[in-house]
Amino acid sequence: MPASAANVGAEAAEIATQLTVRQSRWVRFNIHSLPFVCAARFVCAAAANAIALAYAERMNLHTALTRILPRTSCGWCRAFVAGALCLGSLSALAGGCEMVAAKATSLPMRSCVSTNQLCAPTAQPGPAIAEMSNVVARGPEAFFHLRTDLAPDAIDVTVAGQVATPMYVDEPALGGVYPLPAATNACAVSVSVANKGAKAPSDCRVLLVPHGQFEEISADAGVAVLHNTQDDLGEEFPASTGLAFGDIDNDGDPDLYLANFGIPGVLFRNDGVSSDGHIRFTDITQAAGIDGVFRGSSVAFFDIDGDTDLDLFVGRDGPDKVFANQWVETGRSTFVDISVASGLVRADANLTNSHRTTSIALGDYDQDGRLDAYVASHITNINDAETMHQDRLFWNNGAGFTEVTELLGNIGDQTRLATFAAAWVDVDRDGDPDLLVASDHDSFSHPKLARPNVLWLNDGPVGQGVDGRQWRFSDHSEASGFARIPDGKGQGLNAMGLAIADIDGDGTPDAAMSNIGPNALLMNRSRPGAPRFEDVASAAGVERTYLPWQPKTVAGSRRAAWQDMSITWGTQFLDVDNDRDLDLFFVGGAPVDNFHGAVFGRRPIPNALFFNDGNGRFSELAFVAGLADPGPGMGSAVVDLDGDGWLDIAVAPYRGRFRLYRNRGREIWPGHGYLTVRLHGKHPNTQAVGAEVTVTTADEQRQRCFHISQPGLAGGSELACHFGLREASPASVEIRWPTGDMQTYPVSADAVALRCTE
């Protein structure tokens, strides 16, 4: 897989070729369906209310029908609307998948011309280049590392004829980090060095500067929001930044809510792709009725009331906010505050008695069809152990949420964590969702701060005929190997981001976690009732313990080991090149200038993108791919913004501008296909959270997706199952619905998307 990507930066002659890409068209109903549609206008109009009521019991759309029909006095119009809803209800009641087929069009690849002989031979005495980055994708914040045999302050560096000043220098012997000139528009540039004040260079290298696979488009898309930390500067540990994608108006495009701290969060409507190929968003915060939400730290879209539209949860450093979407009721994307009514927020909640909510994990632990919630919290001030907040478990009683945290054990101990992310997934394959919690502070010696990761197995009800308030969970954290994962610090993991996927193709959920220092990649070796994880990060090549411009700490050095290491946050599994194996993305960034007694400074810690070679090994190619911004990032999400089947990436920094990376992979791998599967479950779990989707291709290869709320860190990715297919064709899709029902559907060879209804 990385072979093609690695060759992107190779010097080449101009490439001008036409590539075939896939676009979508719905093919389930065609012109032959028109007579049936016309007849349905008459038949369904007469029985519209009865059918809608039956449909409402399943899908909760009766309100929409009764509101739409009375608004017009046109009998034919009412009949047509009723007929359309009738057809939709009949289709939904029957279940099944609607299929999207591929259509070929032409797309010109962007040309890239390299220049030879950029560096002329020189015999000038002076510094020699000892180490330098080879390839850096161009971009507004692109940078590279350079080390010579002299300290950075003793040399002059010229990049493409322009004098360059280092962005960052830690220890002079390690060289410096230099920005790429903003106007760079060539495939290669010269990097020359000379003695300070010398007129001629003593050494020169060529730095390849290709177009990256990912293009940062936040400004062009209208979402270049700055994260404002003005309220947060007095704390040593900043608030995480929340973001989430979800289709709030049912138009097929993922919309975006971006939380903020010192200024209100923003709701953006996705207006789709313009005629000139650009993705556009519009700020609809005030019109939607959710303006004025400050101090946000996490976001999630989910259907809290089972009416099929997506509601909004905003976790805060303070009382959380819950907003009910009125799309079904009114046909408009307006929201009503139901924070207290939902049961997720106390009636007397204020800044003093509230939590710092960093994520919400949704799953139906008692399998009654209603989504329950685990609300995770983090510490407010890293130097004050008393500010560590309480994680909470909520049972969905059908009318709202009831807190049942006591089901997890000692509230003052086991659930008082420093949690950034959590997820519900069936770890031990016994048919019910278990709970994984990533805790940030296993490496700290303070007894109130040291908290390892937690795995709670779902052991079912305490007896017959009881509800979710009488449930059993057992702590398998230590025994499973999930709790304490030794790393380069010689201590446990500071887990921050959490991602869940079947990385090795055995059908079980594996996990990846970010860290201060080496990342973790945990392979699931569980059996029913006996969970076990094995960390293979080192063997797989995804640790990234150190960066080239940071010292590799040894005993007796100036700082503790972890303070010199790479730091990663938001974590995502995704197939960035649609080659049938999952890659791994980590957001990079130093936490703050002064953190737990360590002066980090604003040192660049770029994002990390690890390409999977399909054999259990990964190569880091963030610089080649165009994702190596210097940070400081924190939250992340994965989404297909334009519906082209290539997954895009969003990064929310806690200082600086929101970043949105559009995936241009189809221009590099035009023959790589994909299949996107979207699910519609039974009321009230209309999003089918907890389902599992398995795609089998014509060559009998299988991939499994866990259709769960993926936390990443502080946010929510688009809820859909995306499968890269390489050159293979899909043959069938098997769905294990949250109810336990199994359904298998044949898939045509040219399908690129499915919409499946339980």
Whether 512 and 383 share a structural domain: yes
Q: What is the CATH number of the domain that holds 680?
A: 2.60.40
One-letter identity of residue 431:
G
Q: Which residues of 618-651 are buried (b: 16+ CB within 10 A; e: fewer)?
A: bbbbbbbbbbbbbbbbbbbbbbbbbbbbbbbbbb
Angle at 280 between CA 278 and CA 285, to 5 degrees: 170
Task: Tell me whether residue 99 is in a domain.
Answer: no
Q: Domain range spanning residue 711?
A: 673-757
Show which of 193, 209, 225 is a domain's final residue: 209
Whether 395 and 517 share a structural domain: yes
Show which of 177, 209, 241 is a domain's final residue: 209
Show which of 168, 186, 209 is a domain's final residue: 209
Whether 183 and 319 share a structural domain: no
One-letter identity of residue 654:
Y
Contact 389, 352 (CB under 8 A): no
Whether 280 and 179 share a structural domain: no
Whether 418 and 444 share a structural domain: yes
Whether 553 and 690 share a structural domain: no
Coil vs helix vs strand at 97: strand
φ/ψ of 269, rounded to 5, equals: -90, 130
How many domains does the chain fold into?
3
Q: What is the CATH number of the domain that holds 431?
A: 2.130.10.10
pTM to 2 decimals? Answer: 0.85
Give per-residue pLDDT as tens, 4-60.
333 333 333 222 222 223 333 233 323 233 333 334 333 333 333 333 333 333 333
Could you check whether the bond before residue 548 is cis, i.e. omega within 30 degrees of 0?
Answer: no
- Tokens 């991602």 found at: 499
Whether 179 and 315 share a structural domain: no
Task: Tell me whether residue 519 is in a domain.
Answer: yes
Whether 165 and 301 share a structural domain: no
- Radius of gyration in angstroms for the set of CA atoms belonging to the chain, rounded to a whole number: 27
The CA distance from 469 to 112, in Å, is: 62
Task: Tell me whether residue 97 is in a domain.
Answer: no
Task: Tell me whether residue 321 is in a domain.
Answer: yes
**Can you list the alpha helix ranges (DSSP code H) found in 607-686?**
622-625
pLDDT value of position 272: 95
Low-confidence ranges of the chain (pLDDT < 70): 1-94, 102-116, 230-240, 353, 380-389, 410-417, 441-450, 486-492, 553-563, 591-602
Contact 85, 61 (CB under 8 A): yes
Whether 386 and 529 share a structural domain: yes
Task: Tell me whether residue 81 is in a domain.
Answer: no
Whether 623 and 688 share a structural domain: no
Contact 604, 168 (CB under 8 A): yes
pLDDT value of position 345: 95
Task: Tell me whether residue 497 is in a domain.
Answer: yes
The CA distance from 739 to 736, in Å, is: 8
Whether 499 and 402 share a structural domain: yes
Task: Tell me whether residue 28 is in a domain.
Answer: no
φ/ψ of 172, rounded to 5, equals: -50, -30
Task: Tell me whether residue 642 is in a domain.
Answer: yes
Whether 391 and 508 share a structural domain: yes
